[in-house]
Amino acid sequence: MLLDTLLQQKVALMLAKQSGLEQDPVYKARVENVKKLLSQQPDAGQGVLRQDKDAELMESLLLMSYRSRIPVADKELKDYYNQRIRFYQTAGAKSRRPARSFVQVKEEIRNQLQAEQLVKMCHQALSALKIDVDEKTLNSLDLSPSAATSSHS
C-alpha cells in the first residue's frame, strides 16, 4: 500500500511536469511567492531537512496546481452531490456538521473529483508501466533511514 502511494505520487509529479505547468506564468508567480515566504523563515540550523521540506512543499504546489486543471463538468458535480444529498443536507448533533447546499460544497466536490481523476490517471500510467516488485526483491533493499541519508550525499 505504501509503495503504491509513493509510486502514485511520483507518477502524478511526472504527469504534472510533462504538462508544461512549470512554464505557466501563474504557476511561476505562485512558486516565487512561496519561495519568498520560505526565505523569510528562520533556518534553525536544519540544513538538509529544511531543503527536503521546501522541496516537498514545491512538489505539493505543483500537484495542487496540476490537479486544479483537471476539468470537471457541472453535471458531474451535481450528480455527485445528488448521490450524497442525505450526507450534505443532514445536520445533527452526532454528525457535528450543518446542512449544506450544493453551492456551499461545489468547490469541495470539485476538489474531490479532481483528486479521484488524478488517482485514476496515475493507475492507468502505472498499469502501462507493468512494474512488478516481488517480496524477495523488496526485502533485499536497504530502506533504513541511514541508507536514505547516505544516498542524499
- 79 vs 93, higher pLDDT: 79
Mean pLDDT for 38-42 is: 76
Say yes or no to pLDDT of 150 above 50. no
pLDDT digits (tens, 9 = 90+) for 120-141: 998 888 888 766 666 776 667 6
What pLDDT sits at residue 107? 94
Contacts made by residues 119-123, CB under 8 angstroms, sequence distance 24+: 119/8, 121/12, 121/15, 122/7, 122/8, 122/11, 122/12, 122/15, 123/8
Residue 80 corresponds to which amino acid? Y
**What's 73's DSSP letter?**
-
Q: Where are the domains of the chain?
A: 8-40+47-69, 71-131
Cβ atoms 132, 3 nearer than 8 A? no
Say yes or no to pLDDT of 100 above 90. no
Say yes or no to pLDDT of 151 above 80. no
pLDDT digits (tens, 9 = 90+) for 41-67: 776 556 666 677 778 888 888 888 999
pTM over 0.75: no
Cβ atoms 88, 99 nearer than 8 A? yes
What pLDDT sits at residue 117? 94
Collect all residues with Cβ–Cβ distance below 8 Å to 62 and sequence separation of at least 6.
Answer: 13, 16, 17, 21, 22, 27
Q: Which three cell numbers stand for residue 99?
A: 446542512
